[in-house]
Amino acid sequence: MKFTTPVSVSQQEPKIDHNSGVFLLGSCFVENIGEKFDHYKLPNKRNPLGILYHPFGIRDLISRAVTRNNFTSADVFFDNERWHCFEAHSSMSDPAGERLINNLNNALKTTRKYLEAASHIIITPGTSWIYRRVENDTAVANCHKLPQVNFRKEISGVTELEDAMTSIVNNIREINTTGQIIFTISPVRHIKDGLMENQLSKSLLFVALQKVLNSQNSIFYFPSYEILIDELRDYRFYAEDMLHPGKTGIDYIWQKFSFSWLSPETTLMLKEIDNIQKGLLHRPFHENSEAHKKFRSALTAKIQAIQKKYPHISF
């Protein structure tokens, strides 16, 4: 008897290795996978403006970066002792307005720099629900806990979502014609919208993305949503909030991603790096013992061997 529905993934090219440059944009699932890249010392950059959930926010960031449309004082506002920007996550907010503007524009420069050089760009939208400012009908990436009366909540239609995703691809291609663009729908459940509303939201993303995949060349899809929702399909693979994937779920999705996008040689290197990372966390009972000195010496030798091959890796 089968107690799961395996989700098959195919091997893709070109592979990601320690000479690649991976740029990740989107929902908090980007942070989960990005931490895996960090742990295994795979070069990456993610979410320069913070987490972005809706395709509109991802589109607007890429568009600003590609066209060099810098932020100005008109794009920030003051509330509750901090300056904020509706196009950025609250992690960017700052007590000083000028500093926020500088940080936002530095994030745009970083975005363009990494988009231009990236070998792989991973785009992970999480929801179709969007908030619009009542004042001027503009969509926001983050409400920054302003009163609900300032916004109108609506769900984006398939055509709007398709247009946003198409714009993402086209803008990237303006400055990077060779990087592999990989879309994946975030498996994080947005239950605050409601169970049915969350399903509707994800469904609209899937329909729109399928249209984009059918109309664009050289873009790929990775089924992170299906792996967690269909293959794992159990709350033990979720975090305590029952909304985000837990450690085991993330590890499993990462294994699938590694099979699809990492070469066997890179996978072996990941095992070596993982052993080093665990060794660096080791806390001895007797720091000055001969056994620990030998352990540290062997660990240093392993690090030097990797750095000889990949000088840019640091531990």
Structural domains for the chain: 22-262 (3.40.50.1110)
Neighbouring residues of 184: CB distance < 8 A, sequence distance ≥ 6:
29, 122, 123, 124, 221, 222, 223, 224, 225
Burial of 232 (0-12, 13-18, 19+ CB in 10 A): buried
Task: Note every long-range contact of 12-17, with CB atoms under 8 Å and residues 24 or more positions apart, other chains counting.
Answer: 12/180, 12/220, 12/260, 12/261, 14/119, 14/180, 15/261, 15/262, 15/263, 15/266, 16/42, 16/119, 16/120, 16/261, 16/262, 16/266, 17/42, 17/262, 17/263, 17/265, 17/266, 17/269
d(CA 64, CA 295): 50
Q: Give the length of the chain.
A: 315
- Mean pLDDT value of segment 48-68: 98
User: Would you give the DSSP letter of residue 17?
Assistant: -
pLDDT digits (tens, 9 = 90+) for 296-307: 999 999 999 999
DSSP strand E in 98-218: where? 120-124, 129-133, 139-140, 151-155, 180-183
Checking if the pLDDT of 103 tops 80, the result is: yes
Please give the Cα distance from 196 to 146 (Å, whole number): 26
Q: What is the pTM of this model?
A: 0.94
> Are the CB atoms for 44 and 34 separated by under 8 Å?
yes
CB neighbour list of residue 113: distance below 8 Å, 6 or more residues apart: none
pLDDT digits (tens, 9 = 90+) for 23-38: 999 998 899 999 999 9
pLDDT, averaged across the chain: 95
pLDDT at 1 over 80: no
Q: What is the pLDDT of residues 178-223, one digit of tens each?
A: 999 999 999 999 988 899 999 999 999 999 999 999 998 889 999 9
Residue-wise over 49-64: b if at least 16 C-beta within 10 A, else e?
bbbbbbbbbbbbbbbb
Q: How far apart are the first and last CA of the chain?
A: 45
